[in-house]
Amino acid sequence: MHLQVESVTKHFPGTQALRGVDLSVVPGRVHGIVGENGAGKSTLVRIIAGEMAPTSGTIVVDGQQREFRSPLDALRTGIAIVSQEGNLIPYFTGAENISLGSETRFAGVFIDQRRVLAEAKALARHHFPGFDLSLDTVVSDLPPEDLKLIEILRALRREARVLILDEPTATLQATAKTMLFDVIRHLKTQGIAVILISHFLNEILEQSDDITIMRDGNVVGTGPADRFDEAEVIRLMIGSTLELRQHAHTLDVRPAGAAPRIETIGLSGKGFEDVDLTVQPREVVGLAGLTGAGHRAFAEALYGVEPVHAGRIVIDGHEVRIGSPTRARDAGIILVPDSRMVKALFAEWTVKENLSVGHLGDVAPAAGLIRGGLETKASWSVVDSLSIRTSGGDQRIEELSGGNKQKVSIGRWLFSPHRIEAYALCIFIEPTEGVDVGAKSEIHNIIADIAARNAAVLLISSDLSEIRALSHRVVVFSRGKVVARFDHDTVSDEAVSTAMAEGRTAKGRA
């Protein structure tokens, strides 16, 4: 199926998201789309997928002009999107999610669960030969890579011929990324066109047959991928050569010999055991590990997401007991999670509402009534300080780019300035998930600035270069235990990857 976008524009109140965009997507090829946050990528693919209508312009499929009034219209035409945030029902199995809305039934009434599972397995064997998916498992118990494949299968069951993948590798480990790329290559052999959106430019260049580069709602470059290198793509994306700010200054401000802000002693919980860790004020400690290694479970337990089974948590010299996120916040621990649209933000709420929701006591000091002036003033202070690009505090979160959504997710904790200095530990999980190179640098700067306010910081990222850039120390987990510790000046991707994969204690200075 040949898809063409012709002269598409899109206006929102106060901004123009797309300016006469043309795009041609050819069967059996991967078409990569790149651009900074706010460049128009998400708006473009949402129009193609029928999630919103263009202000002007046309979509042409196999020579016929189409008008999509809903995602169902696009899907019936053969266009499907697998969004960055995901759209699976967590308490359904993989097979149930794949067949949702078109299940095989007895007498047209009762769902035939055996048939549903058998059909899902047959679909997986056809499109993903050689891969073993647990399609009878509830998806909340599956790793991120399996969730992506299940979403792709759900689209293929509906006979999608153009598949839009929005940041599909944002939270995947290297081996899972390799698996996904193998799947994409197999889909190409079946004549399926793939639109790939990713902020990992090396992935775009390696996996795409064609590339379109966007800036400020315009297409500024397009053509076969082998005509571009990474430097040229970045230049076209931002209009100049990007110089990412270095973070060596965070290494200089860590006070030598300072009393730790947080210390865990023999801490054990679901997915991790016997973890001893100290983090000083102004120190960033990176936690690395493969999926299920225990580093994420450890960090979430510090925030009270899961209970601690044994061990001690000491903050500023005082032992604390944390059994819930509320108690964690009271103790001075905050968490900026991954999957922001699921765990942190309300899509249909405004920027102002998302920023203030956790601080209603500050904007409703009397009789529980929100004082709009206070809320607006505090919200705009956060918007200005984090350079959140928005048309106003009343703009809905779902209309923002990925990088600006992430800044709002961080900004929720910065809404009340007098509380910032009280944070003992700030935990960031995949802080630059699905954001472009420019926004990534800005978010790195925000993390560095938060650490400079005397906070201890834990950083979890599937991007080892990000961990190396920001961390004073790196602690590696495997099978629920700490297996290696490295100082900033001794860490390398090879050493960390080896410790992660082999699960053995590696030599490194703690």
Where do the structural domains in the chain lie, given as residue ranges?
3-238, 248-338+424-436+455-502
What pLDDT, on the 0 to 100 scale, is given for residue 250? 46
What pLDDT, on the 0 to 100 scale, is given for residue 104? 67
Residues in the chain: 510
Q: DSSP strand E in 306-368: where? A: 308-315, 318-320, 333-336
Q: Do domains 3-238 and 248-338+424-436+455-502 have the same CATH topology?
A: yes
105 SS3 class:
strand
- Start-to-end CA distance of the chain, whole Å, equals 56
The conformation of residue 389, written as its DSSP 8-state character, comes to -
* Among candidate residues 495, 359, 494, the one with its CA nearest the CA of residue 417: 359
Q: Are 287 and 295 in contact (CB under 8 A)?
A: yes
CA distance 147 to 157: 15
With a cut of 50, list the residues of the chain below it in pLDDT: 241-251, 504-510
Q: Does the predicted model carry a pTM greater than 0.85?
A: no
Residue written as token pair 């078409």 = 31
What pLDDT, on the 0 to 100 scale, is given for residue 505? 43
Residue written as token pair 């043309």 = 22
Neighbours of 48 (CB within 10 A): 23
CA distance 303 to 300: 5
Fold exhibited by the domain 248-338+424-436+455-502: Rossmann fold (3.40.50)
What pLDDT, on the 0 to 100 scale, is given for residue 274? 95
Burial class from Cβ neighbours inside 10 Å (0-12, 13-18, 19+) for residue 91 reads exposed
Beta strands across the sheet bearing 308-315: 272-279, 262-269, 308-315, 318-320
Q: Are 448 and 251 in contact (CB under 8 A)?
A: no
Q: Are 112 and 103 in contact (CB under 8 A)?
A: yes
Q: What angle do CA 144, 408, 426 make, to 5 degrees?
A: 70
What pLDDT, on the 0 to 100 scale, is given for residue 310? 93
Into which CATH architecture does domain 3-238 fall? 3-Layer(aba) Sandwich (3.40)
Q: What are phi and psi of 507, to 5 degrees?
A: -80, 125
Tokens of 400: 């923002």
The 10 Å CB-count burial string (b at 16+, else e) for 433-468 is bbbbbbbbbbbbbbbbebbeebbbbbbbbbbbebbb
* Element containing residue 239 per DSSP (H, E): none
Beta strands across the sheet bearing 64-66: 15-25, 3-12, 56-61, 64-66
The 10 Å CB-count burial string (b at 16+, else e) for 93-104 is bbbbbbbeeebe
Residue written as token pair 């990992």 = 200
Tell me what percent of the chain is helix, strand and coil, each rounded to the nearest 5: 35, 25, 40
